[in-house]
Structure 1
Amino acid sequence: MPFLTLYTLFFLFALPFLRAQPAPKQAQWSKLYIAPDKRNITRGDGKPFFWLGDTAWELFHRLTREEADFYLKRRAEQGFTVIQAVALAEFDGLTQPNLYGQLPLKNNDPTQPNELYFQHVDYVINKAASLGLVTGLLPTWGDKFSKKWGVGPEVFTPENARIYGEWLGKRYKGKPVIWILGGDRSPETEKHYAIIRAMAEGIRAGNGGTQLMTYHPTGNSNSAAFFHKDNWLSFNMYQSGHSAKNTKNYVMQRQNYQLFPVKPTLDGEPRYEDHPVDWKPEQDYFNAHDARQAAWWAMLAGGCGHTYGDHDIWQFFDPNRNKPVSSARTHWLRAIDHDGAWQVGYLRKLYESHPWNQLIPEQSLLKGDNPDDAGYQMAALGENKDFLFAYTPTGRPLKIDLAKLTTPQLVAYWFNPRDGVSTKIGDFTNEGVKEFKTPVACPTCDWTLVIDDAAKPWAGFGLPKSLPLTGTGKPK
């Protein structure tokens, strides 16, 4: 049993009681496909799959099984659906053993994976599955084929990448796994391209092409720039990154939305909650509003889902075990309950209360001034023109062209992204432009306006109560 400090033990075992939650219902695993419209991911039962991801890059490397259980259970309670984690981790992943004393490879050789290490990976993937979570599995972090920065060493060639990929593909065939190649690297040489394509080929050979696959590039970069037309790339992933407040992640989302062939797309690494802006603590840290803004902007620009991230969680920062990376400042057992992690779950719940896979970005709904700044407003309209979502990040009033909706009787309400509470505004007809003033305006007072066809079953969903996740809600 690996050594655990008293500090870690206290929080590991006390927090579940201090913030008691009903256990999430075990979900039935359903294979994932690209939807017929090529915009979204769908389950085997035909229902749309909402990707709500969390970056847990060091999950296999830095946590015990008991800690992984706690982390996964909490993320399931918060409404996450995808956990992004790396088999060959970034920080000394090849030379520093996991907490059970196991390295992932023998002699740093990708053709010689260590069975005992991957038994721990198996455990975590299976535990996630039991909670209804899909693992977004990165075979390796990018420094193992393109060191550039980080620890490395570079160990991959096209030949051993294919062998390793096929081994992984066979091992996790039939598991709730989505493959994410890359690992914070954009290919720069022909060898890089060859390694990635060989690994993808190997995975597909191992799993029979039965699982989805994408690519995780560097900050302010986009998988579509490198692999959009490759058959193995099921959907696009971009990384809007951590360099500035109000990064316009909707720009890459919109670019991908216009590409042919059509593929789903999402922001796989936006600005992390509790991450120093541009890696400089003196410029402040990203907060929950930054995380919400990124999520709503990306989704209303046509995202098939969204990945949230917390700077303390991805590295599982524990000052008694490891040094802080990039000025991490909060123990991960506290950071797991940062506000943004609950609030992206509220976003998912609102979306899933409607036929959200029918939403189409529609900025023409918005009338009046809309400066391209921190308060930039966005809107999307259901393809049958029977509901709309419009987001105002700083609480500026929204002017909506109600004539865009074809149904005569409408109900409008405010959805509060900060607490999941819906408040009715009133009933309207679909005539002319109407201004909707938010209940409160401030730099971090974001609001989502929802207007529904009053006759639809989803009309006024959540009124007058809040929208907690099924059987749960943020602990008081």
Structure 2
Amino acid sequence: MAREPGFSHRSQNVESDFDCRIQAGQEEIQMQLFATANQVCEITFTSNARYGDPYNEVEMEGVFRHANGTTWTIPAFWRGGPRWAIRFSPPESGEYMFETKCSNAADRGLHGILGKLAVEAYSGGNPLYRHGRLRVAADKRHFEHADGTPFFWMGDTWWMGLSQRLDWPNGFRALAADRVAKGFNVVQIIAGPYPDMDAWDARGRNEAGFPFAAGFARVNPDYFDMADLKIAHLADAGLMPCIVGMWGYYMPVIGEERIKRYWRYLVARYGAYPVAWCICGEGTMAYYLSKTPKEDAAAQKTGWTHVMAYVREIDGHRNLISIHPTQYGREQVEDPALMDFEMLQTGHSDLDSVAPTAETVISAMGRIPAMPVVNSEVNYEGILGRCWQNVQRLCFYVSALNGVAGYTYGANGIWQMSTRENPYGPSPHGRCWGNTPWQDAMLLPGGKQAAWGASFMRRFPWWEMERHPEWVDPSWKRENLYTCTAAGIPGKLRVIYIPMAWDPPIVKGIESGITYEAYYADPCTGTDHPIGAVTPGADGNWRPPIPPEVHDWLLVLTAH
């Protein structure tokens, strides 16, 4: 049968019919299930109709209603053969009713099924489940959980983490455990066709093949069965998956309508997990060998705008949405208001990317519409034999202290999951970014130091901090990347990043009548070194003592 046009728009009618049946006492409960709040409950169904191509011929959804009257419309996904499933994450305890709706109303295995869901509160320690999924805070500048707990995004880049080069379970679990121990809480990971290759490159396979069948006609459910194991493990480990649909340059190859159907599948399959959506990677970047890059970029911008709007429409769990950019996320789509937060990419040119990183962050923070900003790609550690830990610290702090809501680290070798046995090798342009095995890249010091930086920021009410270049001399200047970056809360807190502390900077304009205590924090080792009371001169200025070693330092002043 053909797809019923506009099916995904009809949830209001479904809810009205549902309410009428319940109020009239006509319900026939066919399923009674139990679940835990903020965790995935999967409900499976078996079609009793025969379809030649169920992925393309059928759409199904479930409408869930809490006893308080709140409703959620959740799409279902094809599990292969006659099997379908709905994954729902109830956000609070209590009783829910649900009803299914299928585009083929004659299929009684998928359509018109009524059920009850009894949900108990989550009692564990995983912050993703304890505090609830992410949302944008009222200030439009930071993230918070559903219960209002602030969330500072500290991501790691596992673009090709669903491929078989990051083996399941041993390799995947080992890398996840390492990242949790270091303080990461997000993993950026691609669900579908990867960058730096074409869609049928063998390096893009997992243990069950490619994500799509030949010609992109439909998904390969077996591929996603394997992906399920990894996505679920990330969430259970406290690492929020930021799921990237595919790389942007596949839009002209696959086509907008097929990509929308694919995104419906992703939303149905993974939307119940605590995730963020990244619609695609490098949205307006044409394929490396394209003969028509300008035309492709324009078509991609239009197509990904439409896909983003579609995902916003169908995701009943209301997960946050963004797009990974060539520089600014808002420039990858025609309507930035469709995004919940902006991702940035600020360069891989070692020290030469530090000043552009600061400038890009500052610019993004001042643009309208206001939204949280995440520096989602910069200076992968070890790429091109450079961008080592000193550069990782510089890029992190000029981002964090200029107002970002989050930061994503990347290590060359991890993003492409290179292995000792099978080095990743060249990209389509014939050049290789480096073949460091992921097992070695996992141990690079910059990852630990950047993640410690996020833990450092979480010591403070970082969401209230604002940049204050007037507080320090020398203050940041493009011409000298070793000048200082200052942020804080007037009268309460000052944090100054000193990229090179040969001569400590002057802290300026200390408020009269406020007593500050100061300490140095070592961004290399994570240790603190007390200074004591701040004693400014008559002009309100103060020069701190020389720190224990000469390298970069964090200077913290807290009011008492």
Post-superposition offset of 1:449: 0.5
1:55 matched to 2:153? The reply is no
Aligned to 1:398: 505
Q: 1:42 aligns with which of 144, 148, 170?
A: 144
How many Å separate the matches in 2 of 1:175 and 1:112? Answer: 23
- Cα pair distance change 1:99/1:170, threshold 3 Å: closer
Match of 1:330, SS state, is coil
1:287 matched to 2:388? The reply is yes
Aligned to 1:64: 167
- Cα pair distance change 1:369/1:105, threshold 3 Å: closer
Q: 1:86 aligns with which of 190, 203, 211?
A: 190
Query: For the Cα contact (< 8 Å) 2:191–2:245, is it kept in 1?
Result: yes
Aligned to 1:415: 521
- Cα pair distance change 1:48/1:108, threshold 3 Å: farther
Q: 2:347 aligns with which of 235, 241, 264?
A: 241
1:197 matched to 2:305? The reply is yes
Post-superposition offset of 1:167: 1.7
Matches within 5 A, 1:132-211: 132-145=238-251, 154-186=252-284, 189-208=297-316, 210-211=318-319
Deviation per residue, 1:357-383 (Å, 9 max, x gap)? 11101101113475532302100022x
Query: For the Cα contact (< 8 Å) 2:452–2:523, is it kept in 1?
Result: yes
1:301 matched to 2:402? The reply is yes
Aligned to 2:77: none
- Cα pair distance change 1:311/1:270, threshold 3 Å: same
Match of 1:170, SS state, is helix
Aligned to 2:179: 75
- Cα pair distance change 1:407/1:181, threshold 3 Å: farther
Using the size of structure 2 for normalisation, the TM-score is: 0.69
1:216 matched to 2:216? The reply is no
Query: For the Cα contact (< 8 Å) 1:158–1:194, is it kept in 2?
Result: no
Post-superposition offset of 1:257: 1.1
Deviation per residue, 1:295-319 (Å, 9 max, x gap)? 0001111111111110111111113
Matches within 5 A, 1:7-18: none
The one-letter amino acid of 1:376's match is T
Post-superposition offset of 1:261: 1.8
Aligned to 2:414: 313
- Cα pair distance change 1:41/1:369, threshold 3 Å: closer
How many Å separate the matches in 2 of 1:394 and 1:165? Answer: 47
Q: 2:374 aligns with which of 252, 259, 266?
A: 266
Of stretches 242-251 and 200-209 in structure 1, the one that deviates more from structure 2 is: 200-209
Post-superposition offset of 1:402: 4.7
Aligned to 1:471: none
How many Å separate the matches in 2 of 1:268 and 1:198? Answer: 22
How many Å separate the matches in 1 of 2:425 and 2:398? Answer: 30
Query: For the Cα contact (< 8 Å) 1:94–1:104, is it kept in 2?
Result: no
The one-letter amino acid of 1:158's match is E
Which consecutive unaligned segments of at least 5 residues does structure 1 have?
1-23, 146-153, 455-476
Matches within 5 A, 1:303-452: 303-325=404-426, 326-368=432-474, 371=477, 372-382=479-489, 385-396=491-502, 397-404=504-511, 408-428=514-534, 432-439=540-547, 442=550, 445-452=551-558
How many Å separate the matches in 2 of 1:169 and 1:420? Answer: 39
- Cα pair distance change 1:407/1:166, threshold 3 Å: farther
How many Å separate the matches in 2 of 1:351 and 1:55? Answer: 20
Post-superposition offset of 1:101: 3.7
Post-superposition offset of 1:332: 1.2
Return the index of the structure with the highest Cα Rg: 2
Post-superposition offset of 1:324: 3.5
1:256 matched to 2:364? The reply is yes
- Cα pair distance change 1:439/1:38, threshold 3 Å: same
Match of 2:336, SS state, is coil
Aligned to 2:212: 105
Aligned to 2:23: none
Deviation per residue, 1:96-154 (Å, 9 max, x gap)? 26341411001131x51111101122111110011111111110012322xxxxxxxx5
Query: For the Cα contact (< 8 Å) 2:248–2:281, is it kept in 1?
Result: yes
Query: For the Cα contact (< 8 Å) 1:167–1:206, is it kept in 2?
Result: no
Aligned to 1:21: none
Matches within 5 A, 1:20-31: 26-29=126-129, 30-31=132-133
Match of 1:306, SS state, is strand
Matched residues, percent identical? 24
Query: For the Cα contact (< 8 Å) 2:183–2:451, is it kept in 1?
Result: yes
Aligned to 1:126: 232
Post-superposition offset of 1:392: 1.1
